[in-house]
Amino acid sequence: MITPHVDVTNPEGDPTSQIISRKMTVTKNRSLDDPLGSSMDLKKMMAMVGAFYWLVMTALVVPVACVATCVLCITPLLLVSRTLFNRWEHRLCRMVNDHWVSAGQYTGVKVVEYGNDIAKISDKRCLFLSNHLGLVDHFILMTAMHNKHTLTGRYLWVIYNIWKYTPLGLMWTAHGNFFINGGASKRTSVLNTFRKHLRKYYWEQDYGFVVMYPEGSRFFLIKDSGARFAEKNGLKPLKHCAYPRTGAAHTVLSECGPKEDREDPIEYIVDCTLGYPKGEVVDLGKAMTGEWPSDNTTVAIHYRIYRTDASMADEKVLQKWLYERYEEKDQLLDDFYKSGQFESIPRHVYFPFSRAIMVQFFWMALFYGHYLLWMKPVTVFGYRVFMNLLF
């Protein structure tokens, strides 16, 4: 057997080197003649810059400006009138909501509504229950709610307490949203605290919708535990959602629901079903950089509106009713994932681009005003004190 001679001083004598050389030449020529690769890199870089802007605005600029405005400008109105305070606090809350909608619009998300029209009850007192699939859900719901009269200024969210000690948490606390802990061991104490919170603030601050995710967490995190729960309790297995926890919903209806001696109670329950195309839930980070599954950015929402009943103050009655609704929701989602739409006439949600621009200028100007008014003087004063102590 004769081994081919390879001249190590001449790499081109090596067939492998010749192949590599040809590939490098093709790649080089492609980069010179076809700028596709460089344009894709530029597009990705711009997407990252945009995502960073929305992160800073949403997690820092808007919360700081909102809390500062609420404390320094709106809270003093309590000395004059609670009604006046509520009116301006609700307007500020609506501007926060519209910022989140603007961030959602940056991702290219499109929201389509089906079923009952919640605009007809948007000024009423309601319990709003939604399935939970991903962090993008918050942006989707805020987008769907933005054009529903006073809804976005008067809603109260029940939020998992992981966000409590962040600028976002301070902002939500200032509005009166409630942070709830997980875990059965804390259930009784947390629900008692929630009950007191509703009793103290719900009517006083003129809230309307109470918004929550009764499943407790995003579906992919609780899918297995939800299946075990259904099997243990002899319930019909669900494929696309989990049976809800009833504690928080029961607390709302027992404390704020219809009773003979209660004025202006919660009148409706809105059963909201979120559906992503083919069940592919986009990650928040990928959504912000435009990387949606199948490049489909349309998310569907289906509503069913029910009248509240005094019997729902009984947790067993409410539990049975909610379990039946979630069995229907699971079938609704199953049909949606197969057909790509819910059964009813679609209503497209529109958010003007001009509104998105105006909202961004509003929050940047407000933040800059607070920077000049107190942030800069406080920072300079703190620095001088520190330097005097140090030297």
| Model confidence pLDDT, tens digit, residues 309-346 | 999 999 999 999 999 999 999 999 999 999 999 989 99
Whole-angstrom distance, CA of residue 290 vs CA of residue 268: 37
pLDDT at position 160, please? 84
Nearest by Cα to 261 from 316, 313, 305: 313
Q: Is the pLDDT of residue 162 over 60?
A: yes
Q: Where are the beta strands (DSSP E) in the chain?
A: 110-115, 126-130, 156-160, 178-180, 209-212, 268-275, 298-307, 347-348
Q: Find all residues with CB under 8 Å of 246, minimum gap 6, and list them.
A: 214, 315, 318, 319, 322
pLDDT of residue 42: 84
Q: Tell the CATH topology of 110-355.
A: Glycerol-3-phosphate (1)-acyltransferase (3.40.1130)
pLDDT of 45 over the 60 cut:
yes
DSSP states along 316-346: HHHHHHHHHHHHHHHHHHHHHHHHSS-SS--
Output the pLDDT for position 260.
87
Long-range contacts of 236-240, Cβ-Cβ distance < 8 Å, separation of 24 or more: 236/327, 238/326, 238/327, 238/330, 239/330, 239/333, 239/334, 240/279, 240/329, 240/330, 240/333, 240/334, 240/337
Return d(Cα 170, Cα 172) in angstroms, integer: 6
**Residue 128 banded pLDDT, cuts 50, 70, 90:** very high
Nearest Cα residue to 73 out of 60, 62, 63, 85: 85
What ranges do the domains of the chain cover?
Answer: 110-355
Task: Name the DSSP letter for residue 309.
Answer: -
Q: Which residues of 72-100 are buried (b: 16+ CB within 10 A; e: fewer)?
A: eebeebeeeeeeebbebbbebbbbbbbbb
Whole-number pLDDT of residue 9? 39
Tokens of 157: 């969210």
164, pLDDT greater than 90: no
- The per-residue pLDDT for range 204-263, each reduced to its tens digit, is 999 999 999 999 899 999 999 999 999 999 999 999 999 999 999 999 999 999 998 899
pTM of the model: 0.88
148 beta partners: none
pLDDT score at 36: 54
